[in-house]
Structure 1
Amino acid sequence: MLRVATGVALQEQARSARPDCIVIAGPLPDLDDVEACRALRKQGLITPSTPIVLVTATPATRERRLAGLRAGGWDHLAVPLDADELLLKLDAYMQAKEDADQVRQRAFVDEVSGLYSARGVERRARELVADAWRRHAALACVMLAVDAQPETAPDVRTRDTGVRHHVASLLRDRGRTSDAIGWWDGVQFAVLAPATGAEGAAQLAQRLSQAIETSPQPQPKGAPPLSLDVHAGYEAIHDVHATPVEPETLLARATSALRQAVAEPGGARIRAYSTHGGG
């Protein structure tokens, strides 16, 4: 259990601790309780299923209770509290959160690779962009496309599934713990890299590409070992607060750079996003 005394401390702890439940007791010295609840929801500091309970020293008016619910609160209680009732409610709320989180986690994880799914990548992009904006920090997105040769493997679907699993294992082993790595589409992968500028993104793309291409190559049953070729595209923002970017735009720019790299045989295999379409 963590206790804080101000709205600022509440937001900081919510971001770092990822609580199972939050109880806001009365107006805080620097922030109204309803506004504190709204800030937690709006800024994405907690998951949508995290219960927030507002507690006031006196019974709240109907308008105040409705305002708390509209701000994302789950309940609005007044002192004196029935301890048994409160504990039973909190237990039920946290069980509901756990169930919702498990469903959400399954939707955000790709079953084949064990990495984030495309939906999971989009969700992490929203979270990381919001965090980088608050911290005036850098953020990069690297997209990787893996081309498996020969294309005449006996079972293309089985081949691609095997490649997906193989590359996912490499990315988990070689990626940084701070990075969010996901399967994007086909045999394409996305890496969201916090606190990473353009130079770091280029180095990350180079390192991961080399790891994939130089690793022992997968071998489909009844076929020779595959040869994996990698192209990469990336976009990096030096300071997300100074140069705001939407999460969808960050992903789209990295994808555009990747397409440019793939579309030019013999050209640069790693491309930075450019408004002119080049690297």
Structure 2
Amino acid sequence: MLEIRSLRKAYGDTVALDDLSLTVRPGEVFGFVGQNGAGKTTTMRIVLGVLAADSGEVHWDGRPMDAAARLRTGYMPEERGLYPKMRVRDQLVYLARLHGSSAPDARRSTDELLAALGLEERADSRIEALSLGNQQRVQLAAALVHDPELLVLDEPFSGLDPVGVDALAATLRTRVDRGVPVLFSSHQLDLVERLCDSVGIVKAGRVVAEGSVGALRQQGRARRLRVRTPDAAWAQGLPGVLVLSRDGDAQLLELADDVDDQTVLDAARRSGPVHEFAPVLPSLTELFREVVAA
């Protein structure tokens, strides 16, 4: 389990992290989201020991994170850190060996990852000859090749097409199913909503919302309703109610903050039978906008 406790980091008068805390449990994919400059990359670099915190602690399995624990961590930086002149297979074997893998284990792990990520045909290509999407796949393979116990990934899906996203997601899932915790940041909130077990939204160096995607959506303001009635005209002109769309006898309504949904239900009933009346929960993207704007 990865525990980040009360991290603080300042660059002169600029506070990058302000008492930031979060926990990533075994077998959990934790999405770390926020605007540019919110503190995500700084947090990850402190976890990896690239930066030192001004105060606070990072613990792995109940102990302070040390060099030995970091050697068992897989890190994927947002900026690609591959050697452009090296060939793909040679580079992955080399990186696995740097992390302490034996030569046979390094070759075995490399071949497995090349197959899983659809890179077998490019194994002998130089990194600089690959497309950006394939470079991204190799970057993830570099984070996984030494069979890490913890994964820290900064924008792992950047530049990937849907096939590449699926390949990376499936490869990550095999690690998660073995109990590996994954902390990853992304601006692609649709992917975060699809892939993550838990999410932390960071603003100005603090985690301002945290929990499962479902729980966070439940906490968001459900000011939209899906209503299905034989007669849809009743909603037109209703004070504080905006008809967003209509599909047959179903309507999507948005309510002003001061409108009671029971008042809307009463109006719908007066028009005839109501076959559906359900809140439409905000997406993670909508929730994110709501939280960071607060």
TM-score between both structures, scaled by the size of structure 2: 0.20
RCO higher in structure (CA 8 A, sep ≥6): 2
Structure richer in helix, relative to its length: 1
With the length of structure 1 as denominator, give the TM-score of the two structures.
0.21
